[in-house]
Structure 1
Amino acid sequence: MFSKSKKTERIDTEQREQYEYARKRVVQKKRLMQHFIIFLVGSVLLIVINPVLGFGDNFFIKDWFIWAILLWAFLFLIHVFNVFIMNKFMDKEWENKQLDKLKAKQAKRIQELQQQVDVEMPLPKKEEVKKNENPNLLPPDVE
């Protein structure tokens, strides 16, 4: 109970990132399934409301429920595309590559700016600094 050696398993950062990525993917797929179920229930409800109950017959579009279901199906297909297609192309590895590209671009720009500063306002060389040093640390006209 009060032993000195505690067996605590620590997860290294790579495993932690993999776990977080897997958890996010599960949440994405769960939300997609919820969207699908809501889409099915909503479509059935729209079909029941318009043709069966006759609600919305005097609406300016005769079969408006078909257009509503088609629009909803389009939005669902966009959701499927984002979860299964876009995530494959733009996963964690893609993000890391983009970050590396941006870091390289910034480093190159910093180097260009440093070269420009070195050309426009060069630092004095060590020999020049030593020649101009006054051992008394007083200006020459004060002596």
Structure 2
Amino acid sequence: MFSKKKPQNTVDMEQHELLENAQKRIRQKKRLFSHFVIFLIGSILLVLINKILKYGESYDWFIWGILIWSFIFLYHAFNVFVTHKFMGNDWERKQREKLVAQQKQRISEIQKEIETEFPLSNVNKKKDQ
């Protein structure tokens, strides 16, 4: 009566990976939008500090602060929207497969080298003697 089993959702590895990638992209975009809001609020504060509070009034230093911050924001946006497409999960997967293939080839080369230098027939003969 109380022991009803809930149906288990079996999510295969590919679907699980897709979900993780989607969550990662959502977090990246969320951080970018948060950065944009903080950039806007910070820019307004820089202008207010310079103009209203008259801190360093003889020189409009807030322009440089906003300009530097805008370059940082543009770099962040570039990483999220452009770099991720070129160097995203597919790129990582291809690089990983490429490295694994190189490692396997190197291992097979080492095994061949060992077999030519120390053939098993010689080892067996030495054991028999």
TM-score (norm 2): 0.87
- Note the alpha carbon deviations across 1:114-142, whole angstroms, 9 max, x for none: 1221222222169x64x9747xxxxxxxx
What residue is the counterpart of 1:118 in the other structure? 115
How do 1:3-82 residues align onto structure 2 when only pairs under 5 Å count? Answer: 6-57=6-57, 62-82=59-79
Q: Which amino acid aligns with 1:10?
A: T
Taking only aligned residues, the RMSD between alpha carbons, in angstroms, comes to: 2.2
Write the deviation string for residues 65-92 of structure 1: whole angstroms up to 9, x where unpaired. 1111000000000100011011111221
Distance 1:21 1:50 in 2: 43
- Percent identity over the alignment? 51
If the length of structure 1 is used for normalisation, what is the TM-score? 0.80
Distance 2:127 2:37 in 1: 82
Distance 1:67 1:92 in 2: 37
Distance 1:7 1:99 in 2: 36
More helix by share: 2
Q: CA deviation at 1:7?
A: 1.7
What runs of 5+ residues in structure 1 fail to find an aligned partner? 135-143
Q: 2: distance between equivalents of 1:31 and 1:132?
A: 67
Report SS of the residue matched to 1:53. coil
Q: Between Structure 1 and Structure 2, whose CA radius of gyration is higher?
A: 1
CA-to-partner distance for each residue in 1:104-123, whole Å, 9 max, x for gaps? Answer: 11111111111221222222
Q: Secondary structure at the match of 1:10?
A: coil
AA in 2 matched with 1:110: I
**Gaps in structure 2 of 5+ consecutive residues:** none
Aligned partner of 1:91 among 66, 88, 95:
88
Figure out how many residues of one structure are paired with residues of the other and give that number: 129
